[in-house]
Amino acid sequence: MIEFPDISPAITELWLAIAAMALLLIGVVRGDRATRMVVWLSVGVLAVAIWLVWSDADTSVVTFSGLFVADRFAAFAKVLVLLGSALALVLSLEFLERERLERPEFPVLVVLATLGMMIMIAANDLLSLYVGLELQSLSLYVLAAFNRDSEKSTESGLKYFVLGALASGILLYGATLVYGFTGSTSFTGIAGALAAQEERSIGVLFGLAFVTAGLAFKVAAVPFHMWTPDVYEGAPTPVTAFFSLAPKVAALALFMRVMLGPFGGIADDWVGIIGLLAATSMVLGAFAAIGQTNIKRLMAYSSIGHVGYALMGLAAHSPGGVRGTLVYLTIYLAMNLGAWGVILSMRRTDGKLVENVEDLAGMARTRPFLAAAMAIFMFSLAGVPPLAGFFGKFYVFFAAVDAGLYLLAVIGVLATVVGSYYYLRIVKVMYFDEPAPAFLQPAGATIAVIAVTAIFTLLFFLFPAPFVAEAHLASLALFP
């Protein structure tokens, strides 16, 4: 007989699950009119969840018979994910109302996806990893197809579903191999079994490769990135914004925990794989985005490139590398959120949303504030000092060089130079091209999000210490 487990470390997950069901009930009873209320309530629920995580961040416990772990690393990643989800919801409200998509299930699905990400981040077992991943993915498939009357949105949902199911299958296959050759699904058990083996069994390596492939699909790293541009283009724009924020952070956090936790002892075997994923992602992200005219596709390739930089920190497999990736993700979240805020404001005065790079032409004259904010985000995404994006890259490059991955660092720098071209092209289109018709004034909430993220991106260099210190503490949790 097993004692009833201690559920207090999972208080955030419980809160999100119960709140999601309550929000669903409100939505069902009040109907579509309640969408606005449910969106704001969901933002409140996520804000409370941030407080719950942060008030109990300084713990390190394993509960639910070893299925669940709460430590500083999890707390850091959870706060990032919750922030990303909440602010993506704030950005989505105007879009939902203007495109007649006001359905209360939208915020509920975002909250449930966030719950899945919480479970992923807190996973300490291959089983909880998979369950969390599926909860998150299933919500995301539905969100991608949310605009069911649009052919593109349905197509993107279906594509994402079919390829995502395939990736889940690959991941599960790898998990069974790892279980078969180590005799345990728990991360601590796997690490122990691997440490006890004198000779590395080929089965574990195969399992590791399959698990890596499945996770690489979820973070959209090359060569498992094919779905990204199509899904990002077809999904409703606020959903695309959400896709590029919270799920990326959650999947990368999970990636780091899996690689450094159970497989930390055999790092020599996977550093090459991760390094290759990082290098190809950076290069493809830089080159493939050049020819894009649709800004959503462009941002999709940009996000593939950024995943490459974030994986570089993992390839360094040191506390410094994890710290670099966490700082990188924090900054990526801020500047990407702002950029998506501007993209969601690209609405002509007749109410039509446009999404081509040319449509931004001359925005500096029609909407100088938006253009200035977008310029900040683009310079930051390109990695121009002293904006925040530069510091994100600085920490991961530093960790890579520290770990002796010189080639990877050189590829990263070169990819940054190439990538700058298309970020700066957007700035050029906004500031030097003949003005296109003006955009509508965005909603107050959107402006607030853009302003806050722009100020963060602009002034990060004045106060990087608290973030870096927090990320440093979080990274130490993965290296006991």
Partner 1 sequence: MLIQFIVFYVFAAVVVGSAFMVIAARNPVHSVLFLILSFFNAAGLFVLAGAEFLAMTLVIVYVGAVAVLFLFVVMMLDINFVRLRQGFMQYLPLGAMLGAILLVELLLVVGAFVVSPEVDTLAAPMPPVEQQSNTHALGQLLYTRYMYLFQASGMILLVAMIGAIVLTFRVRTGVRRQSIRAQVARTRADAVELKKVVSGAGISGSL
Q: Which chain residues interact with partner 1 by CB under 8 A?
A: 1-5, 10, 17, 21, 24, 64-65, 67-68, 103, 105, 108-109, 112, 115-116, 119, 127-128, 131-132, 134-135, 138-139, 141-142, 145-146, 148, 157
Q: Between residues 110 and 312, which has the closer beta carbon with respect to partner 1?
A: 110
Residue 147 tokens, joined: 């605009």
Please list the residues that pair with 69 across neighbouring strands: 62
Note if the bond before 386 is cis, omega within 30 degrees: yes
Residue 364 tokens, joined: 């500096």
Q: Between residues 21 and 226, which has the closer beta carbon with respect to partner 1?
A: 21
Cα separation, 218 vs 121, in Å, equals: 14
**Whose structure tokens read 């606005």?**
36
Q: State the minimum distance, in angstroms, from the CB of residue 67 to partner 1.
A: 5
Q: State the minimum distance, in angstroms, from the CB of residue 128 to partner 1.
A: 6
Q: Between residues 112 and 458, which has the closer beta carbon with respect to partner 1?
A: 112
Cα separation, 164 vs 161, in Å, equals: 5
Q: Between residues 13 and 355, which has the closer beta carbon with respect to partner 1?
A: 13
70 sits in which H/E element: strand 68-70
Q: Between residues 9 and 264, which has the closer beta carbon with respect to partner 1?
A: 9
- What angle, 0 to 180 degrees and rounded to 10, lies between the N-to-C axes of helices 35-55 and 11-30? 170
Cα separation, 12 vs 122, in Å, equals: 11
Q: Give the number of other CB atoms < 10 A from CB of residue 3.
A: 6
Q: State the minimum distance, in angstroms, from the CB of residue 81 to partner 1.
A: 16
Q: Between residues 66 and 192, which has the closer beta carbon with respect to partner 1?
A: 66
Q: State the minimum distance, in angstroms, from the CB of residue 232 to partner 1.
A: 20
Question: What φ, ψ does residue 123 adopt, rounded to 5°?
Answer: -70, 135
Question: What φ, ψ does residue 440 adopt, rounded to 5°?
Answer: -70, 155
Q: Between residues 103 and 472, which has the closer beta carbon with respect to partner 1?
A: 103
Quickly count helices (H) and strands (E) in the chain.
20, 2
